[in-house]
Amino acid sequence: MEKEKTPKRTRKFPVKRIGLSTSVGMMFLLGMICGAVFFVVFGFFFLSDFKEISSRIDNFQPSFTSRIYDYKGRLIDELFTENREYVPLSDIPDVLRKVFIASEDQNFYSHPGIDLVGILRAAYQDLLNLKIVEGASTITQQLARNRFLSQKRIFNRKIKEILLALLIEKKYTKDEILEAYLNQIYFGHGAYGVKTAARIYFDKDLSHLNLAETAMLAGILRSPGNFSPYVNLRAAKVQQKRALRRMKEIGFITPEEMDKVLETPIVLSGLKKIASEAPYFVDYVLKDLLNQFDEEMVFSGGLKVFTTLDLDVQEIANKTLKESGYQGAILCLDPKNGNILAMVGGRDYQESKFNRAYQALRQPGSTFKPFVYTTAIDGGISPVDIFVDEPLVFPNNWKPKNYDKKFRGPMTLHEALEQSINIVGIKVLQQVGIDKAMSYAQRMGIHSPLQGNLSLVLGTSEVTLLELADAYSAFANGGRVPEPLAILKIEDSSGQVLFYGKRKVKQAIPTDTAYIMARLLQGVIERGTARRANIGRPAGGKTGSTEDFVDAWFVGFTPDLVCGVFLGNDNRDPLGPSKTGGIIAAPLFAKVMKPALENQPVHDFVKPDSVVELAVCVKSGLLPSSACKTLVLPFKQGTVPLNTCTQCSQ
């Protein structure tokens, strides 16, 4: 009998002998291999991007707000792509750190940059609620995303974010990462970083925030567009409560403390935008900044720019031009050092950003005459030399006229200047020479091209208010003319000085000539066309008007302050009948100068020893007889009148 054959069995023993732990291990190993392959493939496709971003981490720095200050350290304006004021972690209150850690990343100090526990917890909550209710990005991941990546929710961005987070954790300490994060994050309404957010929402320094306000900031962070209390206060309070609940769960606060904080009223400061008192001046400064630094440094480098501006004088000048109703500009500067103290480039910056203080080239009219008279005085012509005001006809049929179309006959030089007599001005220019007069104007600070003809004295060559006012510094400052200065000092975000403004002052005309001209221009205010510019202290100046009342000017000065006023429409339409510099510009000078100088000591122009002051006959300019009305005038030695007047006794 044959033995029964035993059927062959398939080899199933390996399955029977392999336990569950071995199976999981194999799956884990397989996952590791797949993960490694994935990261190799990922690295192949994204290595160039990753290398570039990795190199940027070495120079890890957020965008800072640059700030412009006046000479007293008062904030004028801010320049930024992201409005941020950096604050070191040591100056951030501990309670604020805890709120953000509790709200955003409770395992921050224990994970390597990504939080697997947090990911699982978030996944559980999302599954439980059947929707995304909790994110899993760590503070480090958020920093990586906000600083180096776009906000688009795409797969490769998330992988980059994880890799960057791991790299950041290797390069920096936890405290350094937290400091960078708290200064980087966006809170809505243009506010970046916790310090700026505290100011935007509560107008407080970080050290003065209470826990209720701090928790609300943490809530805003989750979605500034939806949870800002300025947008939705109710939603903001819900998020505030969430942040506090997380603090309670972690043990940072007790339930009783949470309840007490929730009862604390929230007082918002209200959205405020710095309305710069000096937007035209800021543009002027910005031009200089961009000549020295690139745009990134200017708008993102956290520069501190200390300027020459005096906000008190600026406010006065702003109000004066605005209330006048005219378009134009007002400029004030210190004649001793060139510090620009006020610059109003137009009546409304929102209406027009064109800066008429230094960009507008306009005919200065008779404000140019002092340059010709300076040439005459310096060349030995006396303030009492006689010139005849009479009709003139030139070969080209040019027939110049005075403003009032009258002729006065013989008159002294100082009277002709006081009354702004065109005919005498032309005769003086003929006597001193056109080229010489142009040379004096250029030495004193007129840089715009000048036309070499007799109409030069009538102010037909266009100039800017800035160069005209600066040139008048010579009369106020003993012949010395400073280069206009706007920036005193620039510091970087760490306080290191990058730039000091250089003061440049040159002796443009002799001291005695400058003093005599200052006194003659003082006569313009006291007895001439600029009586409306009288400010009750020693001051000189000159009016200017152009044909058909298109432009009106007044530039005046004391030993401490030069102020120039220009009025004129951009399209050069006339300002109106009889709207001369003496009628509409000179009063604005007085409105600026009186309050600007009211707390300053009264200074007079300092007479050089080489100048002789002498009483003369008002009518003839000669030594007075007993019948003469007299006036004290300054003279250079050798130009003093020697004869006695006989006209007044006849």
Strand-pair partners of 563:
332, 556
Q: Which residues 6+ apart lie within 8 Å of 390 measured at CB?
A: 407, 409, 423
Set 85, 104, 179, 277: catalytic member:
104
Q: How far is residue 16's CA from residue 516's CA, in Å, rounded to a whole number?
A: 118
Q: Is 598 a catalytic residue?
A: no
Residue whose C-alpha is closest to residue 592's, from 341, 316, 226, 194: 316
Q: How far is residue 465's CA from residue 444's CA, in Å, rounded to a whole number?
A: 14
Residue 125, CA distances (Å) to 320, 352, 390 in order = 64, 55, 99
Q: Which residues 6+ apart lie within 8 Å of 153 measured at CB?
A: none
548: left (phi over 0), alpha (psi -120 to 50) or beta: left
Residue 510, CA distances (Å) to 469, 484, 522, 591 in order = 19, 20, 18, 31
Q: Quick check: 410 and 620 in contact, CB under 8 A?
A: no
Q: Is 390 a catalytic residue?
A: no
Set 63, 66, 103, 366: catalytic member:
366
Q: Quick check: 409 and 435 in contact, CB under 8 A?
A: no
Q: How far is residue 632's CA from residue 613's CA, in Å, rounded to a whole number?
A: 6
Report angle CA 414, 415, 420 to the nearest 5 degrees. Answer: 100
Q: Which three-class secondary structure state does DSSP give residue 420?
A: coil
Q: Quick check: 499 and 489 in contact, CB under 8 A?
A: yes
Residue type, 600: Q
- Which pair of structure tokens corresponds to residue 254? 């007790």
Sign of torsion over alpha carbons 222, 223, 224, 227: negative
Q: Quick check: 105 and 139 in contact, CB under 8 A?
A: yes
Q: Which helix (H) or strand (E) holds 500?
A: strand 497-500
Q: How far is residue 509's CA from residue 570's CA, in Å, rounded to a whole number?
A: 34
Tell me which residues are annotated as active site: 104, 366
